[in-house]
Amino acid sequence: MAYRDDIQALNPDHHWIFDGDLLDAVGSADGTLSGTVITTGTVMSRDATTSMATQATTGYVGIASQTDINSSALDRYAIGGWFSPTDIQDPPVAIWKQGTTSVGFGMVLGFGNNVTFEAWNGSTFGLQVFTDRVLSEVGDRPYHLFMAFEGSGFGNRFDAYLDGVKLEERIGGTPDSANMPTHSAGQARWGNAASGSVGGTGVILVSAVNGRYNQWATFSGANAAALTDTDIRVELFEKGALADDTISTDTEGNMQTALDAFSSTTRPDYPCCIEIEAVSGGGDFTLDLDNITFDDNASIHVRYNGTSGTLTLRNTNGSDCSIVSAPFGGSIELVTEINITINAQDAVTRADIENARVLVTADTGGPLAQGTVIIDKVLTDVNGEVTTTFDYTSDQPIIGVIRKASSSPLYSENSFAATITNQNLSQVVFLVRDE
């Protein structure tokens, strides 16, 4: 299903794809151009070929007053879409604004490209939620911005999301009235606002935001209240996120070769760093990430695009993939290759013991069944060590037994317990001579 269909399945009141036009795909609130350029340049989301760019000093796209946006009291309301700044915004400028200096909603960009989400109702409440990082100004890093309001008669909340993750930095608490009063005097618009509110104080926003837009939608009433955090993260963000690189459908071996081209690299900040399509013929398959690391601000490290089957993705050789997504029907299992080293030493001399036999099995409390063999009676080497690798998914308690009874010097059996975590495990076990 196309991304625009995923959005519309959530029952928005309005949906502006901004794919070369200003049309409302589900309602009758088509946009009106005022000094804004519709470009055929960088795309902000999947299922679009162009984006809308606001560039003029006073340019914006507006819509006529709508009952479900600003011309009646709103007890539940949500709005959001894809946006990317193309410059550093010094004065406060409006990404989206509806209402006046006394009542309305807004997304304001400024102060070094920080986003502030606002809901203000005169002297009753002034609510703000802040992004926790600066948005890139290079113009090719899309962000999904979303905010949801429910008056005190319903959810009593005002939440904002960046790339589907709820933001925690806020002032003003929660709404203390049942709804947002009618605010039709202030035209709803993208890109510039004649007036608005920052910190509960009316200000003049004197210039248009320099940025690009795709796939914006509004929701009201029960449809707004029905949106869950999962809907916002998966349906609106994960399914629409552009990928920086793609591993296309092929044989498992060829897909591994394609993925190995990124070995020993750091993938940059992007909505989705790497997307992986289904293997030829479908079904389950496994791929290794070889020393691939990811920028701290990247929102999805790897997305599996298959509609069925399971992709097992293994972090090896220092790879640090930790944020994965499989929003289209398939599943993805992330494992990390852990090195396990068991070292047998003489309890008195601390000398390494060669040819000691090591057995390690799973204990209760982890993903493996109790008794599952991890090291199967392997002899220690000249350094007194047995080494193996383990595909880590979650903490796994283990039990081990070591003895040396076949050749002199002989050692009594000793046991140990440990837990495999997402870090390499090195365990020293001391043995007592038995001769």
Residues forming beta bridges with residue 202, ordered by sequence position = 197
At 123-148, the pLDDT tens digits run 677 888 999 888 987 778 999 999 99
Among 296, 329, 362, where does a domain finish? 329
- Do 102 and 80 sit in the same domain of this protein? yes
Output the pLDDT for position 199: 53
Rounded Cα gap, residues 119 and 148, in angstroms: 10
- Do 222 and 353 sit in the same domain of this protein? no
Rounded Cα gap, residues 203 and 197, in angstroms: 6
Identify the band that residue 91 occupies on the pLDDT scale cut at 50, 70 and 90.
confident
Rounded Cα gap, residues 94 and 107, in angstroms: 6
Rounded Cα gap, residues 423 and 404, in angstroms: 29
Residues 6+ apart with CB under 8 A from 130: 114, 115, 116, 117, 167, 169, 170
Please say if the pLDDT value at position 101 is more than 60. Answer: yes
Rounded Cα gap, residues 311 and 242, in angstroms: 20
- Do 136 and 170 sit in the same domain of this protein? yes
Please say if the pLDDT value at position 203 is more than 70. Answer: no
Does 85 sit behind a cis peptide bond, omega within 30 degrees of 0 on the bond before it? no
Instruction: Evaluate whether 341 touches 321 at the Cβ level (below 8 Å).
Output: no
Q: Which two tokens stand for residue 143?
A: 């962000």
Output the pLDDT for position 200: 54
* CATH number of the domain that residue 342 is part of: 2.60.40.10
Among 311, 329, 347, where does a domain finish? 329
Instruction: Evaluate whether 20 touches 50 at the Cβ level (below 8 Å).
Output: yes
Residues 6+ apart with CB under 8 A from 157: 148, 149, 150, 174, 175
**Nearest residue to 174 (alpha-carbon basis) of 186, 158, 163:** 158
- C-beta atoms surrounding 204 within 10 Å: 11
Instruction: Evaluate whether 226 touches 19 at the Cβ level (below 8 Å).
Output: no
Among 329, 356, 383, where does a domain finish? 329
* CATH number of the domain that residue 94 is part of: 2.60.120.200
- Do 322 and 392 sit in the same domain of this protein? no
Instruction: Evaluate whether 380 touches 354 at the Cβ level (below 8 Å).
Output: yes
- If you average pLDDT over residues 19-46, what whole number do you get? 89
- Do 224 and 96 sit in the same domain of this protein? yes
At 255-272, the pLDDT tens digits run 999 999 999 999 999 999
Range of the domain at 264: 243-329
Strands (E), 122-193: 125-130, 143-150, 157-162, 165-166, 170-171, 189-190
At 204-262, the pLDDT tens digits run 555 678 889 999 999 999 999 999 999 999 999 999 999 999 999 999 999 999 999 99
Rounded Cα gap, residues 391 and 312, in angstroms: 10
Residue that wins the pLDDT comparison between 360 and 180? 360
- C-beta atoms surrounding 373 within 10 Å: 11
Lowest mean pLDDT among 14-18, 188-192, 227-231, 242-246: 188-192
List the alpha helices (DSSP H) in 205-315: 221-225, 229-230, 252-260
**Nearest residue to 425 (alpha-carbon basis) of 342, 348, 303, 315:** 342
- Return the exposure string of 52-83: e unless at least 16 CB atoms fall within 10 Å of the residue's CB, then b: bbbbbeebbbbbebbebbbebebbbbbbbbbb
- Do 113 and 230 sit in the same domain of this protein? yes
- Do 271 and 348 sit in the same domain of this protein? no
- Do 254 and 324 sit in the same domain of this protein? yes
- Do 211 and 357 sit in the same domain of this protein? no
- Do 268 and 122 sit in the same domain of this protein? no
- If you average pLDDT over residues 175-179, what whole number do you get? 85
Per-residue DSSP letter, 232: I
Rounded Cα gap, residues 140 and 82, in angstroms: 12
Could you report how far apart the first and last alpha carbons of the chain are, in Å?
A: 72
What sign for the dihedral angle of Cα 63, 72, 198, 151?
negative
Please say if the pLDDT value at position 56 is more than 80. Answer: no
Rg value, the chain, Cα: 28
Total domain count, the chain: 3
- Do 147 and 289 sit in the same domain of this protein? no
- Do 14 and 101 sit in the same domain of this protein? yes
At 300-351, the pLDDT tens digits run 999 999 999 999 999 999 999 999 999 999 999 999 999 999 999 999 999 9
At 398-420, the pLDDT tens digits run 999 999 998 899 999 999 999 99
Please say if the pLDDT value at position 61 is more than 70. Answer: yes
At 387-399, the pLDDT tens digits run 999 999 999 999 9
